[in-house]
Every structure is written in C-alpha cells, then in structure tokens.
Amino acid sequence: MRDVAIIGAGINKWGELWGKSLRDIAVESALKAVTDAKVDRVDSVFVGCMSSGLFTGQEHLASVLADYLGLCPVPVTRVESACASGGLAFKAGFAEVAAGMAEIVLVVGAEKMTDVGGNEATYALGTAADQEYECYNGATFPGLYAMMAARHMHEYGTTRRQLSLVAAKNHDHGLKNPNAQFRARVTPQEVEESVMVADPLRILDCSPITDGSAALILCPLELAKKLSKNPEVKVLGIGHATDTIALHSRESLTTLRAVREAGARAYKAAGVKPSDIDLAEVHDCFTIAEIMVTEALGFAHPGEGGKLVESKATSFGGKIPINVSGGLKSKGHPVGATGVAQLVELTEQLRNQAGARQVKNAKIGLAQNMGGTGGSSVVTILGAD
C-alpha cells in the first residue's frame, strides 16, 4: 500500500443555511478543498451523507455531486454509516489512493438538516438507532445517551458538573472558530439551568441541528511533494469497528466497544499510543459521549473521563486538547459532514494554520467519528510529515 497525504481542505460556515441547498453546501466546501490543493482534476469522489432523503428528499448524491461539480463522468460513491458517514467516506477515499486505484481523490461530507421541522429531524436521526426495539418503544437519541450517562454516574461517580464542563469547554473553544455554528460562551451553571431533555441531559448537553459540509483532497505522499506547497499531512493509520445497534444488547452501557476497538486498530496501524497524540477531535454529540470516548481511546482510565475534563487536561493549552474546533457541541453537527470536518481541523492544526486555536507543536492528531450510540466508529490518526 502507498502512503497517503492530505493536500487540500475546505469547510464552509456552519449553521442554519436557509439560502443554500444541499448541493450548494457540498459544492462550496469541495471547491474550497480543490482550490487549497491547487489541482486541476480529481480521479474519484466519495461523499459521506447520513440521510439526505429524509432531510431534503434528495438521494443519489453521487450523481448530484458529479453533476454540480462539473466532474461527469468521474466516479462518485456515497458512503453511509449514520453520523460516522463522513469518517468512513474518508476511509474509502484513503483506501482507493493507498491501493493505487486513483491518484487524486476528493472526499466530501455534507448534510442539510434544517429544511424539516423538529419532529421530522428527530425521526431522521432516529433511523440510526434500532427501529424495532428502541424507536418503536419511544426511545430517542437524547434518551439513549441519558441512560448511558445515568449508568456512568451510578457506576463511577461521574458528576453533573463534569458533564457541564464538557459543554463549557467546547463552547470556549468554538469562540475561536469562525466557522462554528454557536460562537457563544456557556457557563457550567447555564448548562445545568437549561431545559431538561432527558434526565440527566439538558439542552446544552446536546449537539445542535446543523447545515454544513467539509471536504478534503487526498493523493499519494510522493505526489503530494510535487503538487502541493502546503505542509504535508500524512495519514498514519485508520481503525474501524462496529457494535450492536441497540443498547440492550451491549455488554455494558458505560463502554463504547466500537470506539475502543477502532482506536486500538488505528494506534497499531500508526505505530503510536494514546500518550503520543497532541490533540483530538472526538464525537461529542452529547457531553457524556466525549467523556466515554476519552476513556475508550485510552486518554483516561474507565470511569475517569469526567475527572480528565475537570483537570483541564482536555482544554486548549492542556495536555491533550480535545475538540479545539468547538466540537459537535459548538461547531455544529451536520451529521454526514462531521467526520470530514474533524479531519479538516486536524489538517489545519498540523499545517500550523489554525489561527487563534492553534495547538502549540501539534505533530500528531486523532479524529474519532461514530454513528448512533456507538454502533459504528472510525478513528483516524494524522501526522505532520
């Protein structure tokens, strides 16, 4: 297999993009990535999108994207794995370059979620859970993550304040990101006084409904040295794993097995360990998710993820800064785009181009993207070559 590098990155301003269609959003970030890479062609495209049919009524995104980027007849493939769709689209693009099937590959993640009402959005997102056993009986994602949070608090003594600190931290980080949906400081007290959604989770524990996209250009590392004047960012390793879709089939409500296994595979492929990671972008769809992910990835021992955020180790300037982009909580969560956007953030960090949120001496970054309550997860490790 060939070594693979990222030579182009693009992202648009996320939020409620009423004046733009899904195709507008996807094309916008794709063109930014192409411009950044300074390439005049792509050989293949992968697009990550969770549920465009339910959110916008548009399926067949492969043809849509080829058409509106003016790329026909270049092959385009759509990838779906719930909220992990973007991360897995990147994996597919990486594999095609590494295998020698293409030289220059465009990866796009996109979702437009605000063209429907709250009930319709809840239904669309709920399709990532077990329809027969969870959704049929009234479970929603806030409810499912609330059960995970309650059990984590019961088993390990994780506190309400530790959950709040995750939200406050990520909103502080988002203040430095001009593309973030919510650039507003939130205090732990404000989190705890916000509207209850599913005990113990409140509205400010939850990521928002978002429109947005992100894109990357991949090519062989040797070609990157010839094509790009940007600092080279190498894909060091990728790990991917799955778990049961329903919580009731899991061995534990407090362990994200797919994240743990994907992380272990990524560390092995990259030849690194958790202590080698300089920063991470993780899937904080709910505050408890970030805490559990840090444990599954080995940044904290089981049950000590809350203490990790409390120690400020995961804050900007800390030992292992997590979600310096603002994360899903502040930057936003257009579900199919999230995994690609995490890698855009790491690319900018490893190029030393992240502006006010630049992590000092960032050389190795990790992105963790997952679908549902952790039924699928992909972990990608990048390095400054």
pLDDT at 60 over 80: yes
List of residues 6+ apart from 230 with CB closer than 8 A: 7, 8, 36, 37, 351
Mean pLDDT of all residues in 216-229: 93
Say if residue 323 is in the same domain as residue 246: yes
pLDDT at 179 over 80: yes
pLDDT at 385 over 80: no
Q: Output the pLDDT for position 229.
A: 84
Examine the residue annotation and report whether 135 is marked as an active-site residue of this protein: no
Mean pLDDT of all residues in 214-224: 97
Mean pLDDT estimate for the chain? 97
Query: Quick one: residue 317, left, alpha or beta (phi over 0 = left, psi -120 to 50 = alpha)?
Result: left
List of residues 6+ apart from 222 with CB closer than 8 A: 2, 3
| 113 domain residue, yes or no | yes
pLDDT at 33 over 80: yes
Mean pLDDT of all residues in 14-30: 97
Q: Output the pLDDT for position 348.
A: 98
Say if residue 178 is in the same domain as residue 222: no
pLDDT at 38 over 80: yes
Q: Output the pLDDT for position 230.
A: 86
Q: Output the pLDDT for position 250.
A: 96
| 125 domain residue, yes or no | no
Q: How far is CA 98 from CA 45, 161, 168, 175, in A?
A: 15, 45, 39, 37
- Residue pLDDT, tens place only, 259-277: 999 999 999 999 999 999 9
User: Number of folded domains in the chain?
Assistant: 2
Among 227, 262, 279, the domain boundary falls at 227
Q: Output the pLDDT for position 94.
A: 98
Say if residue 143 is in the same domain as residue 246: yes
| 367 domain residue, yes or no | yes
State the CATH number of the domain containing residue 300: 3.40.47.10
> Which is catalytic among the residues 152, 240, 283, 333?
333
Say if residue 185 is in the same domain as residue 278: yes
Say if residue 244 is in the same domain as residue 156: yes
| 123 domain residue, yes or no | no
Say if residue 141 is in the same domain as residue 78: no
Structure tokens at 167: 């939200």
SS3 of 38-104: the string is CCCCCCEEEEECCCHHHHHCCCCHHHHHHHHCCCCCCCEEEECECECHHHHHHHHHHHHHHCCCCCC
Largest distance between two CA atoms of the chain: 56
Share of the chain above pLDDT 90, in %: 98
Examine the residue annotation and report whether 60 is marked as an active-site residue of this protein: no
Mean pLDDT of all residues in 164-174: 98
Say if residue 179 is in the same domain as residue 283: yes
Say if residue 164 is in the same domain as residue 67: no
Say if residue 81 is in the same domain as residue 168: no
| 122 domain residue, yes or no | no
Neighbours of 159 (CB within 10 A): 14
Among 170, 193, 227, the domain boundary falls at 227
Residue 336: give the domain boundaries: 130-206+235-384
Say if residue 273 is in the same domain as residue 290: yes
pLDDT at 228 over 90: no
Say if residue 140 is in the same domain as residue 287: yes
Model confidence at 122, pLDDT cuts 50, 70, 90, reads very high
Say if residue 109 is in the same domain as residue 202: no
pLDDT at 225 over 90: no
pLDDT at 76 over 80: yes
- Residue pLDDT, tens place only, 299-340: 999 999 999 999 999 999 999 999 999 999 999 999 999 999
Among 194, 227, 260, the domain boundary falls at 227
pLDDT at 298 over 90: yes
- Residue pLDDT, tens place only, 5-19: 999 999 999 999 999
> Which is catalytic among the residues 83, 135, 219, 285?
83
